[in-house]
Structures are given as C-alpha cells and as structure tokens.
Structure 1
Amino acid sequence: MPLRPPSSSDTPSILPRSILAFDQQVGRRINGSTPRARADRALLGLSTSANNGLLWYAVAAGLALTGRTGRRAAVRGLLSLAGSSAVANLVAKPIFGGHRPVAADVPVARQLKVFPQSASFPSGHTASAAAFASGVAIESPALAVAVVPIAAAVGYSRLHVGAHWLSDVVGGALIGVGVAAAGRILVRSGRARS
C-alpha cells in the first residue's frame, strides 16, 4: 500500500520539497514491499521494545556486567540518551512538528498497536538509539560494535512500522550523535583519563 503523500501542513516546513518527495518515495517503497512475517514481527518487536528507552536500559545493564569499561559505557550511553530525549521531545518536536505517515497505509502486520500521537520530526526513538550507541562508542569502541547495529535497526524499524519519515529518522540520528558528542566535550571519556 502506498503512503498518502504529505501535504505542506503535514511535514516540517523547514524541509525542502526535494526532501519531502524523497521521504514519500522511501515510504512508498518500504510500505509497498511484500510483507515478510518474520521480519515484520522482529522489527515491530524491536521498535516497541525501544519505547521509553526500555531496550537501552536492558542493554546498559548487560554492559555494566562486563566490567569497569562496560559500566562507564553504560552510564555515558544512558546520560546521552537522556539528553537526546530531552532535546528531541521537549525542544525539536514542538518547534518542527509534522504529521506522521498515515497508519492505515502501513501493512497490517507492521502496524503498531498504539500509533504515536506526538509530532513526527525528529524521531525520538532514533535520537535515543543514536545517542546511546554514540555514548557507548566514546567509552568503548569495542562494545559499540555490538550496540551500533541494534541502534541502526531501531532507526530502520521506525520506518518499517510507518511511525516516521526518513527525514525524521535522519534528524533523530543527528540529534543523538550531536548530544553524545557534546557530552564528550563536557566530560572526557574514561579512555582519555586512563
């Protein structure tokens, strides 16, 4: 099923028409693809598990069990997540707004049980995922090798379930990486102090 193209009132006004058109193309391609039960369930589950940062709290707990470096990575990841969540949800969404893709245009197997009602731009899930993964990478590139693919999959899952446009996901990722980078400037990593 193709997505309904957004009208000018449905998208952030700061984005050029070329980006909006590309968003529509990507949305049509993803939601027009043949549903694959296993992938749809996995991505729907991944997207849902990242609600309210729950996935990242679980990953942080696992990292903390790996020792001192893992604990530092978990703390920096969670602090980065908290900062990016505040920036994305309390600052950027009220400023940029935008309507999400139409839930009815998403194949039923991919639909969220509760479709988000907040503004679309930026993706808070992606901002949190990128911030957590970037925070972990600052403390331990080795641990980030396991975390970054999960974060990328969360970002894609938001497209797959029809909760966001591509520009929302890219905007969220930029916020997440930016907040983690700002945190690195403010608080040097344990690797730099060692």
Structure 2
Amino acid sequence: MIGDDEFEELDEESLHDSDALPSGRPDPIIIAASVTARGGVLWVPVAGLMALAGKRKAAKRTLTAAAVAMPVGHLISLVVHRRRPSVANMPARLALPEHPDSSSFPSKPAVTAAAFGTATALEDREAAVFVTPLVLLVAHSRLRTRVHWPTDVLGGLLIGAAVALAQAGIGRSARARATAWRLVAMVRPVFSDHS
C-alpha cells in the first residue's frame, strides 16, 4: 500500500522540469484554461453552446453535475489539508494571477471539469468528443501552472466523475419512479371504475 510519503515523493518527482511539465511560462491557452476553470466559469459558455446546438437536455444535466461537484470538492478540501506545491517563483506559476492558499487536494477545477465531462459523455457522445479535450486541457493546465500536485488533479478527476455517475444513477431511478407513478395514475381509474 502506498503511504503519504510515497505520494509526496511521486508528486515532487513529477513536477520537476521536464518535456511534459516545463518550468517556463505556459502557452496563453493553458493559462486561459486554468483561469477560467476556477469556479466552473468555463463550463457555462460550453453548456450554452451545447444548448444552441439543440442539446438543451444534455447542457442542463452537465451544468447540474458541475454545480453539484463543486461544493463536494470544497467540502473534501476542508477535511484534507494539503499544502500547495512550493514553486512561487517559477515562471510557470507566476503566469497565473491567482495565489490560492486553500488545501491543494482535490483540485476543484479538475473535480468540476470531470463532472461536466462525464455527464456530457453519459448524455451525448457527440458533444463529448468536443468536451473531453477541454476537460483534459483543464487538468493539464492545473499541473502545468504548478497550482496542484498530480495526485490532486487525479483525485479531482475521479471525484468529479463519481459525482456525475452518482447523479446519473439518481436521475435514472427518479425517472423510473416518475414513469411508474404515471402508469399507476393511468391504471387507477380503470380499477376504481370496476370496483
């Protein structure tokens, strides 16, 4: 079993300057993805575009998943107190206007992105083709700008996906119950007339 020390060592090694995560200033697209992902802002216009494309039901469900996932991520971060990567003077980190001091685990932008992306995949696979790269871009941006440890982002993605899957299960059972009640309402007069 991997302990906290092993995770920290893995995280430290993965954030070293490399081809995958250079320490220089990120591309403006990566910076924009990281900034707009905070607070779930990025997903509102994406859902709007989905609605304009005739996918209103999917847009509503995906935004709901993101809205539910966001406070879940914040609640977990209140319980899990983890320091942020100490790279304050690195160009990759200085590229962001934000200086968060909240717990690093989980990455709340990753939680929200994964919830939105998973809900999209469950509702509309066609839309998921366009949304999934955005989810991955957000996850990468939080690493590339050194705001989170890799396990923060991975944990956030897993939590967000779990929230969306749970919401879909609850929604399906609620729809099944609603359908059953409609059938009961339709059948009841038939039996009451013959009693």
Q: TM-score, normalised by structure 2?
A: 0.81
2:145 maps to a residue whose letter is: V
Equivalent position of 1:63 in the other structure: 50
- Partners of 2:17 and 2:157 in 1: how far apart? 21
- Number of residue pairs aligned between Structure 1 and Structure 2: 173
Q: Report the CA distance between 1:113 and its aligned residue.
A: 1.2
Q: Which consecutive aligned stretches of 4+ in structure 1 deviate over 4 angstroms post-superposition?
A: none
2:27 is the counterpart of 1:40: yes
Which structure 2 residues correspond to residues 130-145 of structure 1 after superposition, within 5 A? 130-145=114-129
How far is 1:106 from its partner?
Answer: 2.5
Q: One-letter code of the match for 1:83?
A: V
Say whether 1:73 aligns with 2:62: no
CA deviations on 1:3-53 (whole Å, 9 max, x unpaired) are: xxxxxxxxxxx9532221110011113597263x6x532211111111211
Moved more, 17-26 or 147-156: 17-26
Percent of aligned pairs with the same residue? Answer: 35
Partners of 1:34 and 1:175 in 2: CA distance: 28
Deviation by residue 1:88-135 (Cα, 9 ceiling, x = unmatched): 00x210111201112424225753112112110000000000000111
8 Å contact from structure 1 (residues 130, 177) kept in 2: yes
> Mapping of 1:1-194 within 5 angstroms?
16-29=4-17, 33=22, 35=24, 39-67=26-54, 70-89=55-74, 91-107=75-91, 111-188=95-172
TM-score (norm 1): 0.81
Q: 1:52 to 1:15 in 2, by over 3 A?
A: farther
Range with bigger deviation, 25-34 or 129-138: 25-34
CA distance in 1: counterparts of 2:21 and 2:111, whole angstroms: 26
Report the counterpart of residue 192 of structure 2 in structure 1: none
The 2-side partners of 1:109 and 1:185 are apart by: 39
Structure 1 unaligned spans of 5+? 1-13
Q: Which has the larger radius of gyration?
A: 2
Structure 2 unmatched ranges of 5 or more: 180-195
In the aligned structure 1, how far is the partner of 2:21 from the partner of 2:140?
15
Q: What is the rounded CA distance, in whole Å, between the counterparts of 1:105 and 1:87 in structure 2?
A: 31
Q: Is the contact between residue 101 and residue 162 of structure 1 (CA under 8 Å) also seen in structure 2? A: yes
- Distance in 2, matches of 1:108 and 1:169, equals 17
